[in-house]
Every structure is written in C-alpha cells, then in structure tokens.
C-alpha cells in the first residue's frame, strides 16, 4: 500500500514536470524559438577541440550508483589500479546503493571516497576542485544537465550518461556553460566504441563504402521487465517518461555511431527531420497484465507510441532513418545499416556487401570474405584495447571499457576528448526536435547549428588519434 501511494505521488510530480517539458518542446518554446535562442546565445564553437591541463590522476565524483553507476565502477577498476584515476566522491539518494558502491570500490581502491547523500541536492557539495576533477553522471535523465552545468561552473569537467539534455533550453545552457568555463562536457556514448561500429568507421575512412548516402540506426530494446520492476530503475523513473512523452526518448545509441560515419559536425551536419510514432500497445498490455494495481491503472495512459521513426537529412544530402522501440518484445538491435556507392552493411547480424559495379548478382560477402575484411579493417583502437578489456571487466562486450579508457587517458594527457559538448547536445536534441515533430502531426523541423559554424571544417574524427 505504502509503495503504491508513493508511486502515485511520484507520478503526479513527474507528470507536472514532463507535461512542462512537452509543452516546452511543442508549445511556447518550439523549434523556431529554439533556433532564435541558439542565435541569440551566440555560440562560438570555442570548446570544439578543447585541450585542458593534464591530470595525471583524474579524481572522479560519481553521481548515481544504480545499474549504470555500478557498471562504470567496474570499468574504472583497471584505470584506478594503474594510478590513472581515483573515485574521490560518490552520491546517491538511496543509502543502500551508497553502501553497495562503497563495498564495490573497496575491492580495488585503498582510499574510500567521500559520501554525499541525504537529499536530491547533496551532490552539489562534491562539485569542488578540492574534491574532484570530473563528475561522472549516471543519474536519471532529468539530472544530467543541471549536474553537468553546476559542476562546470565550479571548475570540474563533466561526463554524462545518455542523453545529456532533455529540453531545448538545457541544450543551449550546456554549450554556453562549457564555452564560458572552458571545461569538458562529454556525453558518454559507449556504442561509438563497439567493435562493429569502429570497423565500419575504419572501412569508411579507407574508402570501402565510396560515397555515403544513407544509414539506418535504432535503439530496439525490450525494456518492459526493467521498466515495470520497482527495484531496477530507482522509483521506476524510466517508465514515467513513457507515460508523459511521445517520440524517440533514447536517440544516441543508434545516432552517435552514424554521426561519426557521416562526419557530422566535422564537414557535414544535420539539417532537418520529421518524426512519427505508431500507436501504443505493448507497454499498456504489460501494465494491465501486471499484478500491481497501480501499474494496471496506468494501462492505456502510456503516451509514447511503441515504434517511433525519425527521418533526418544532412546538409550534404545524406539521409538517416532512426528508430526507437522499448515496448515490443523482439531481439535487441541498433540496425547499424550503412549504404554507400561502393558497399553496404546491415547489422544484427552483421552482413557486408561490396559492390563491383552494375551486376545481376547481389550476395553478401561469405564468412571467409567477411573475416578477411574484419581483419584487414579492424580499427586500431579496438585491436589494441579489446585485448586489455578482455583481461578485465569489459562492459557490453568491451565498448564500455574502451570508452572509459579513452576518457581518462585523454584527461591524463590534457588532449581533446573524442566527443565534445556539441556532439552530445546535437544527438540529444534530435529526440526533442522529434517529439515536437510528432506532436505537430509529423511536420518538418529544422535542426539549428549549435557550433557557431564550426561544423563546416572537415576534420578527421578524434577517435582515430592514438592515445596510449
């Protein structure tokens, strides 16, 4: 009874918040005003290749010690063992998760981190250069921008889980604060570091795909069990978003790698999009089948359609189909489809076609031909670090370890990070712009330039740099 009441209370509160966000996306602050505010903000692109002071040991304040927070502690173990990093502060609102994290960290770090807890804003005390150099944000989505902006204003760098911003204004704020403070603000998009994605990126660099024309990407992950389980996401925060928002709520796992393939912000950028959501069914059916009255009451009130599809066009004329579905029962997929004038790749399972001119025969490369291409074009970053990841805790098959390795080693050496605040905000804003398109009958919505024109400069992606 107690929990039911709590859940209802929480939902009411979040309902107001989410309704406000939707209003902001679709109503008073629509895409047109967003574009005006971006112009008025006079964004400079001044932290595009930001290099900051070298930090031989990166002191980390980790906020949010749930599923993701715990797995990122694992990813840090080796780096901490080498003296490259140290967890100096932790924060969570749940005391059990604080204790779990302390026990976890004690397995490989001799000094215990300082604990910041007690209320929703206890983490603020940890945002001091006396305590940490970097905040690592693994909290629910609505906390990412406030925490990152506050940390930067207090002299720290910020690394946030995805998405990094959930409203237009948050996107502008993050870039403005990063430019004002000259602090790093990176969104931790781990899928950019997966072996398959890095292999495709390398083949693109080496010209295998010829002229790129189209990509299809997605986040198709049946999260019903996790969204309904009261112990999985703290206070079922993720389910609540689905009750009050409609569109693609999780753009970046699919879109991030495609933006790397397409040189987005490094010679090309996203121009405009349209988005459409299907009707909603699967989550409501799961809610009504649940044994909890409070969940049954939510059935039929889910706003987010089961399948959202967004079509995006780039300034240079490439097209992207981006999908989102966390309601339907089906195997996990990010699609990972790329088409060029000389080759095409389809993911899940991975298949490669190499074109030899007009022909009657259109066969995927066979197993041995594909293996040969995998060897020939394996990305050096993957080849070098996968072995190290394999000896330790890998996280999603290795990509999480490589992501964390790159972040910490770049900070150790004071060199630019692989992704910057403009990448993270742009990939996140596609979701907000898409929600607006959905709410206005799938109209075209323009994507404003968040880089002060810097996207025009064609440069190789920093992920290709060797950082030991």
Ligand X SMILES: NC(=O)c1ccc[n+]([C@@H]2O[C@H](COP(=O)([O-])OP(=O)(O)OC[C@H]3O[C@@H](n4cnc5c(N)ncnc54)[C@H](O)[C@@H]3O)[C@@H](O)[C@H]2O)c1
User: Are 72 and 400 a contacting pair, CB within 8 Å?
Assistant: yes
Which span (3-11, 92-100, 179-187, 206-214) binds ligand X, by CB under 6 A?
92-100
Which span (13-21, 205-213, 230-238, 386-394) binds ligand X, by CB under 6 A?
230-238
Choice between 38 and 134, CB closer to ligand X: 134
- What is the rounded CA–CA span in Å between residue 203 and residue 199? 6
- Given candidates 21, 59, 84, 97, which one binds ligand X under the rule CB under 6 A? 97
Tokens of 109: 């770090």
- What is the rounded CA–CA span in Å between residue 164 and residue 424? 6
Q: Is 82 in the site for ligand X (CB under 6 A)?
A: no
- What is the rounded CA–CA span in Å between residue 336 and residue 319? 14
- Given candidates 44, 52, 57, 94, which one binds ligand X under the rule CB under 6 A? 94
Q: From the CB of 435, what's the least distance to ligand X, in Å?
A: 16
Phi, psi of 44 (to 5 degrees): -105, -20
Question: Which residues between 2 and 41 bind ligand X (CB under 6 A)?
Answer: none
- What is the rounded CA–CA span in Å between residue 206 and residue 80? 35
Q: From the CB of 210, what's the least distance to ligand X, in Å?
A: 32
Choice between 103 and 120, CB closer to ligand X: 120
Q: From the CB of 344, what's the least distance to ligand X, in Å?
A: 27
Cβ burial of 327 (10 Å; 0-12, 13-18, 19+) is buried
Q: Is 120 in the site for ligand X (CB under 6 A)?
A: yes
- Side-chain-facing half-sphere of 4: CA atoms under 13 Å: 9
Question: Which residues between 47 and 76 bind ligand X (CB under 6 A)?
Answer: 63-69
Choice between 31 and 259, CB closer to ligand X: 259
Q: From the CB of 389, what's the least distance to ligand X, in Å?
A: 15
- What is the rounded CA–CA span in Å between residue 199 and residue 375? 9
Q: Per-residue x/- marks for ligand X, 167-206, CB under 6 A?
A: -----------------------x----------------
User: Are 373 and 253 a contacting pair, CB within 8 Å?
Assistant: no
- What is the rounded CA–CA span in Å between residue 149 and residue 162? 15
Choice between 140 and 340, CB closer to ligand X: 140
User: Are 132 and 91 a contacting pair, CB within 8 Å?
Assistant: no
Which span (31-39, 51-59, 87-95, 198-206) binds ligand X, by CB under 6 A?
87-95
Tokens of 195: 């072996």
Torsion-angle region of 341 (φ positive above 0: left; ψ -120 to 50: alpha; else: beta):
alpha
Which span (54-62, 132-140, 199-207, 270-278) binds ligand X, by CB under 6 A?
132-140
Element counts in the chain: helices (H) and strands (E): 16, 14
Choice between 234 and 418, CB closer to ligand X: 234
Q: Is 234 in the site for ligand X (CB under 6 A)?
A: yes
Question: Which residues between 237 and 266 bind ligand X (CB under 6 A)?
Answer: 237
- Side-chain-facing half-sphere of 378: CA atoms under 13 Å: 12
Q: Which residues bind ligand X (CB under 6 A)?
A: 63-69, 91-94, 97, 120, 123, 138-141, 143, 161-162, 190, 233-234, 237
């Amino acid at each position: 009874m107690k929990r039911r009441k709590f859940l209802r209370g929480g939902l009411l509160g979040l309902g107001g918040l989410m309704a406000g966000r939707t209003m902001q996306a679709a109503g008073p602050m629509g895409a047109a005003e967003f574009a005006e505010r971006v112009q008025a903000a006079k964004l400079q692109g001044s932290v595009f290749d930001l290099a900051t002071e070298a930090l031989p040991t990166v002191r980390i304040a980790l906020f949010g010690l749930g599923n993701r927070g715990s797995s990122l502690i694992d990813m840090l173990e080796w780096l901490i063992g080498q003296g490259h990093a140290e967890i100096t502060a932790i924060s969570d609102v749940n005391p059990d998760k604080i204790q779990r994290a302390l026990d976890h960290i004690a397995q490989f770090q001799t000094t215990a981190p300082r604990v910041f807890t007690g209320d929703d804003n206890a983490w603020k005390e940890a945002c001091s250069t006396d305590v940490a150099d970097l905040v690592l944000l693994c909290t629910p989505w609505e906390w990412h921008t406030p925490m990152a902006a506050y940390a930067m204003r207090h002299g720290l760098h910020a690394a946030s889980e995805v998405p990094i911003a959930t409203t237009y204004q948050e996107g502008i704020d993050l870039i403005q604060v990063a430019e004002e403070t000259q602090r790093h603000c990176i969104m931790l998009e781990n899928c950019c570091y997966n072996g398959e994605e890095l292999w495709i990126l390398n083949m693109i660099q080496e010209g295998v795909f010829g002229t790129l024309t189209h990509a299809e990407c997605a986040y198709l992950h049946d999260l019903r069990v996790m969204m309904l389980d009261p112990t999985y996401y703290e206070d079922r925060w993720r389910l609540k978003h689905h009750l009050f928002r409609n569109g693609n709520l999780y753009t970046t796992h699919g879109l991030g790698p495609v933006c790397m393939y397409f040189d987005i912000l490094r010679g090309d950028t996203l121009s405009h999009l349209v988005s459409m959501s299907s009707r909603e069914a699967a989550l409501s059916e799961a809610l009504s089948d649940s044994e909890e009255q409070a969940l049954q009451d939510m059935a039929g009130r889910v706003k987010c359609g089961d399948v959202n599809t967004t079509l995006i066009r780039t300034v240079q004329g490439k097209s992207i189909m981006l999908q989102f579905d966390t309601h339907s029962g089906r195997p996990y997929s990010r699609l990972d489809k790329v088409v060029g004038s000389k080759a095409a790749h389809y993911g899940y399972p991975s298949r490669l076609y190499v074109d030899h001119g007009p022909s009657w025969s259109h066969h995927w490369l066979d197993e041995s031909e594909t293996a040969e291409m995998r060897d020939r074009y394996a990305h050096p970053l993957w080849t070098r670090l996968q072995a190290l990841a394999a000896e330790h805790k890998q996280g999603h098959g290795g990509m999480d370890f490589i992501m964390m390795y790159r972040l910490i080693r770049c900070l150790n050496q004071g060199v630019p990070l692989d992704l910057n605040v403009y990448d993270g905000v742009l990939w996140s804003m596609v979701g907000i712009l898409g929600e607006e398109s959905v709410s206005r009958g799938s109209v075209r919505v323009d994507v404003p330039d968040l880089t002060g024109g810097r996207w025009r400069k064609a440069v190789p992606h920093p992920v290709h740099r060797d950082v030991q």
